Amino acid sequence: MGTGLIPADGEIWRVRRRAIVPSLHQKYVTAMISLFGEASHRLCEKLDTAASDGEDVEMESLFSRLTLDIIGKAVFNYDFDSLSVDNGIVEAVYTVLREAEMRSTSPIPTWEIPIWKDISPRQRKATKALKLINDTLNDLIAICKRMVEQEELQFHEEYMNEQDPSILHFLLASGDDVSSKQLRDDLMTMLIAGHETSAAVLTWTFYLLSKEPRVMAKLQEEVDTVLGDRFPTIEDMKKLKYTTRVINESLRLYPQPPVLIRRSLQEDVLGKYPIKRGEDIFISVYNLHHCPKHWVDAERFYPERWPLDGPNPNETNQNFSYLPFGGGPRKCVGDMFATFETVVATAMLVRRFNFQMALGAPPVEMTTGATIHTTEGLQMTVTRRTSPPIIPTLEMKKVLTVGGSDTEPLGTTTPLASSIPEGDQQGEVSTASL
């Protein structure tokens, strides 16, 4: 269904979608993982202040800002810096996103009525916001074009500009032969598709974790073991297996978007249902993912349902009963990006903080637009994690006897831990450093 905000021409997009995904070479993925880490670190700093001040935080809007900052940098090298500032462009992005969401679910396209467009305050606001974003994108395209013209680097399969690894730079350097308008529309599509989806996944993941302390403890144990206090790297993505399962399971219980829509191009029959030409078909991924015929204990948040040593679940190995990123020719182009983004953010946050529902917070209920939102936000109390207390032991040193004579001990045992001065006990999990 067209929203008038992003291109509705399926054919152009089908051809273009192959071009816009930079090949997932190691250099590019490495750059994206550090981008996810840096942005998540900024969110950690914000949460740290809230933890010091004893203030509750509304996590849904913070996740939305986190993923906006990430997608802005990743797609067109623009720093919205929305975690720190609230400027006109950030507000414009939210106005357009809300409008796109409303248009994609509205039965009557009122925005196409000529006079209405000019008199409705809502439509005028959306038009103004869209103009600001389009102008900003045009400027960014122009700046990037100049950078590409000046650079000496030749384009090749593993091309990446270290200062600007964005998709826009990649496309321009590849000599992608499209109009600036087409390019701008593609960037806009990615901004819309890749922002609220990831934010919603993080929101519901943290909600689920707050309800399941067992899962949270297991997750934190994995993150502590794999990451310690460093920033995540590309190698860690393979090792953070349980973290990935937590995201997989969160996507099962709260698929984003919860419904996929198709318009029939011709008459057809689906099972026993005749389909008319031009008819819209709604596929409820939400119902599919909650269906007891397909899932044991369907309502339970249980990341262990997929073994850690097995493949990551996807639509094909789950026989299309699991569609977190859709399937077929229109499958999400950002699935790997989004998985790593949410794994990195989750790992970095749970490493430093515990998250509980705030006392007196309104009950968390769902409301559906393009993604599943909460009705009144996700109010949480965030507290810094502390290491488990060090238990003093009086264990004696073990001495290994070889050939009847006493030798130096081969292994050392824990000294009396209680003798470590208080300040040295690493009580708080330390801040990650680059």
Phi-psi region of 387 (alpha: psi -120 to 50; beta: other; left: phi over 0): beta
Minimal distance in Å, beta carbon 122 to ligand HEM?
26
Given 275, 333, 336, 361, the residue binding ligand HEM (CB under 6 A):
333
Is residue 336 at the binding interface for ligand HEM, with CB under 6 A as the rule?
no
d(CA 151, CA 143): 13
Under the binding rule (CB under 6 A), the answer on residue 374 touching ligand HEM is: no
Task: Name the residue with the smallest CB distance to ligand HEM.
Answer: 334
**CA–CA separation, 196 and 140 (whole Å):** 22
* Residue 118 Cβ vs ligand HEM, minimum distance, rounded to whole Å: 31
Among 326, 369, 377, 427, contact with ligand HEM (rule: CB under 6 A) = 326
Residue 189 found at the interface with ligand HEM (CB under 6 A): yes
Please report how close the Cβ of residue 345 comes to ligand HEM at its closest, in angstroms. Answer: 11
260 lies in the site for ligand HEM, by CB under 6 A = yes
Chain centroid offset of residue 162 CA: 23
Mark out the alpha helices in 151-233 (DSSP H runs): 167-173, 180-193, 196-211, 213-227
Q: Could you tell me the smallest distance in angstroms from the CB atom of residue 256 to ligand HEM?
A: 4
We find the least distance from the C-beta atom of residue 350 to ligand HEM, in angstroms, to be 18
Closer by beta carbon to ligand HEM, 230 or else 330: 330
Residue 170 contacts ligand HEM per CB under 6 A? no
Q: How far is CA 162 from CA 30, 79, 191, 202, 379, in A?
A: 11, 16, 22, 28, 38
In the DSSP assignment, the letter for residue 313 is P
**Hey, which residues does 275 pair with through a beta bridge?**
268
From the CB of 279, what's the least distance to ligand HEM, in Å?
A: 16
For residue 201, state whether it binds ligand HEM (rule: CB under 6 A): yes
Query: Residue 257: is the preceding peptide bond cis (ω within 30°)?
Result: yes
Among 171, 173, 193, 344, binds ligand HEM (CB under 6 A): 193
Among 7, 22, 194, 258, binds ligand HEM (CB under 6 A): 194
332 binding ligand HEM? (CB under 6 A): yes
Q: Which of 287, 330, 407, 417 binds ligand HEM (CB under 6 A)?
A: 330
In the complex, minimum distance from the CB of residue 164 to ligand HEM, in angstroms, rounded to a whole number: 16
Q: If binding is defined by CB under 6 A, does position 50 make contact with ligand HEM? A: no
Nearer to ligand HEM (CB atom), residue 16 or residue 41? 16
Residue count of the chain? 434
Q: DSSP 3-state assignment of 422?
A: helix
197 near ligand HEM (CB under 6 A): yes
Determine if 94 is a binding residue for ligand HEM (CB under 6 A): no
Decide: 16 and 186 in contact? Cβ < 8 Å: yes
* Residue that has been written with the tokens 């182009």 in this structure: 333
Residue 229: name the closest of 69, 59, 44, 47 by CA. 44
Q: How far is CA 84 from CA 34, 178, 203, 369, in A?
A: 19, 35, 19, 27
| Site for ligand HEM contains 62 (CB under 6 A) | no
> How would you label 92-113 residue by residue, b for 16+ Cβ within 10 Å and e otherwise?
bbbbbbbbbbbbbeeeeeebee
- Residue 282 phi, psi (nearest 5): -105, 125
Number of Cβ within a 10 Å radius of residue 75: 24
Question: How many residues of this chain bind ligand HEM (CB under 6 A)?
Answer: 21
Which residues contact ligand HEM by CB under 6 A? 13, 17, 189-190, 193-194, 197-198, 201, 256, 260, 324-326, 330, 332-334, 337-338, 342
